[in-house]
Amino acid sequence: MVVVSIFLLFIFGLLLGSFFNVITIRYKPDDSVFMDLKTIGGRSHCISCSHQLRWFELLPLVSFFFLRGRCRNCKQKLSLQYPLVEFLTGSIFAGIPLFINYFFHFSNTVFFSFTAPWWQYVISIIWVLIFCIFLLMVIVDLKHFIIPNGLNLSLGILGLCYVAILYTVQDTLPLFYDSFIRHYAMMFSFVQNIAISHAVGFFVGGIFFVLLVLITFGRGIGIGDVKLAFALGILLGWPDILLATMLSFIIGGIISGGFVLFGKKHLKERVPFAPFFIAGVCLVVFFGHTIMRGYFSIFGL
Ligand SMILES: [Zn+2]
C-alpha cells in the first residue's frame, strides 16, 4: 500500500511538474503567477518551430528521453528545465510525505492506509505545497530576477496554517519538534511557545533583511527577498530562520565567489537571491538537527 501510494503520488507530481513548466515558461514579470487561463490554455508547441506537440511528445519525463532531448520536427535542443522540473515535482509529491512522517515519527503504514489523524495529512499537504512554491520561486527568480508577490503571499499563508496546526496539536508532538533543529532550539529561545517562536521568526527574519536593504541601498537584496524573509520567518520560526539565513549567505558567497573567480560573472552583476535562501531553508529542514549536532561535536558537546 505504501509503495503504491508513493508511486501514484510521484506520477501525479510528474504531471503537475509539466504544468509548472508551462506556467514558468509562459510567465512574464508583469503578470500574476496565477495569471488568466488564456495564457495557460492552447495546445503546447515547440518554442523554436511552433510545431504542435502530439500526445506522446507531452508525456512528462518519458518524452524527453524518448525524443533524446530534441524537438521531433526541428531537432532543436529542448531545455533541460522540462525533465528536471518534472522529476523534482514528482520527488516532492512522493518524498515530502515520507520525510514529514520520518521527522515527526508518524507511521507510514497508518498514514497510507488513510487512518492517521486528519492533521497529519494537513501537515504533509502544507509542506508539499510549500516545496512546490519553492520550486516555482527558484525558476522564476533565476529567469527574471523577481519573486512574484503571489508566491510570497501564498508561502506566508501556508506558514500561518502550519503554525496554527502545530499549535493545536502540540501536546501530541514530541517535545521541541516544532523546530527542525529539535532540542538545540532551546539554546536560542527564552520561552518554549510555538506561537511566540514563529512570531519572533517573522519579525527578526524580516527586519534583518529590511536593514540589509537600507545598508546596501537596495543593491543585491531586493524587496522581493525581504518579503520572502518575512514569509520564511513565519514558516520556520526562531531560531530556524536564523540558521537558514546564515546558511544562505554562506552558500551564496561560495557560489557567487566561484562564478566571479572563474570569470562567469562580474562582481557588480545582479544575482538572484531566492535560490540561495531556499537552499539554506532546505538544509535546515532536512539536515538542521544533523548540522547542529555536527557543529557542537566539534567542541566535544
Ligand atoms: Zn521544434
- Mean pLDDT of successive 10-residue stretches along the chain, which has 301 residues: 94 94 83 57 77 87 90 89 95 97 93 94 97 96 91 96 94 86 83 88 93 81 92 95 95 87 72 92 95 87 64
Residues 123 and 161: their CA atoms lie apart, in Å, by 9
Q: Which grid coordinates belong to 234?
A: 513565519
Q: Is residue 176 part of a domain?
A: yes
User: Based on the structure, what is the number of domains in the chain?
Assistant: 2
Contact 186, 176 (CB under 8 A): yes
Q: Are residues 70 and 166 in the same domain?
A: no
Q: Is residue 137 part of a domain?
A: no
Q: Are residues 195 and 289 in the same domain?
A: yes
The alpha carbon of 247 and the centre of ligand 1 are apart by a number of angstroms equal to 41
Q: Are residues 9 and 83 in the same domain?
A: yes
The alpha carbon of 52 and the centre of ligand 1 are apart by a number of angstroms equal to 9
Q: Are residues 299 and 187 in the same domain?
A: yes
Q: Is residue 282 part of a domain?
A: yes
Q: Is residue 121 part of a domain?
A: no
Q: Is residue 144 part of a domain?
A: no
Q: What pLDDT, on a 0 to 100 scale, did the predictor assign at position 35?
A: 55
- Rounded to 5 degrees, what angle do the CA atoms 110, 116, 118 make? 155
The alpha carbon of 44 and the centre of ligand 1 are apart by a number of angstroms equal to 11
Q: What pLDDT, on a 0 to 100 scale, did the predictor assign at position 42?
A: 63
Q: Are residues 242 and 101 in the same domain?
A: no
Q: How far is CA 94 from CA 25, 79, 135, 295, in A?
A: 24, 24, 15, 31
The alpha carbon of 49 and the centre of ligand 1 are apart by a number of angstroms equal to 4
Contacts of residue 109, Cβ cutoff 8 Å, sequence gap at least 6: 1, 2
Domain extent, residue 61, equals 1-116
The alpha carbon of 216 and the centre of ligand 1 are apart by a number of angstroms equal to 44
Measured in whole angstroms, the distance separating CA 239 from the mean position of its chain's CA atoms is 19
Q: Are residues 168 and 300 in the same domain?
A: yes
Q: Which grid coordinates belong to 56?
A: 506522446
Q: Are residues 103 and 229 in the same domain?
A: no
Q: Are residues 36 and 161 in the same domain?
A: no
The alpha carbon of 46 and the centre of ligand 1 are apart by a number of angstroms equal to 5
Q: Is residue 125 part of a domain?
A: no
Q: Are residues 182 and 294 in the same domain?
A: yes
Q: What pLDDT, on a 0 to 100 scale, did the predictor assign at position 126?
A: 98
Q: What pLDDT, on a 0 to 100 scale, did the predictor assign at position 267?
A: 64
Please give the model's pTM, rounded to 2 decimal places.
Answer: 0.92
Q: Is residue 150 part of a domain?
A: no
| Region class of 7: left (phi > 0), else alpha (psi between -120 and 50), else beta | alpha
The alpha carbon of 289 and the centre of ligand 1 are apart by a number of angstroms equal to 47
The alpha carbon of 81 and the centre of ligand 1 are apart by a number of angstroms equal to 16
Q: Are residues 159 and 110 in the same domain?
A: no
The alpha carbon of 68 and the centre of ligand 1 are apart by a number of angstroms equal to 13
The alpha carbon of 84 and the centre of ligand 1 are apart by a number of angstroms equal to 19
Q: Are residues 23 and 112 in the same domain?
A: yes
The alpha carbon of 26 and the centre of ligand 1 are apart by a number of angstroms equal to 17
Q: Are residues 78 and 182 in the same domain?
A: no
Q: Is residue 129 part of a domain?
A: no
The alpha carbon of 66 and the centre of ligand 1 are apart by a number of angstroms equal to 15
Alpha carbons within 13 angstroms on the beta-carbon side of residue 11 total 6
Residue type, 158: L
SS3 144: helix
The alpha carbon of 271 and the centre of ligand 1 are apart by a number of angstroms equal to 31
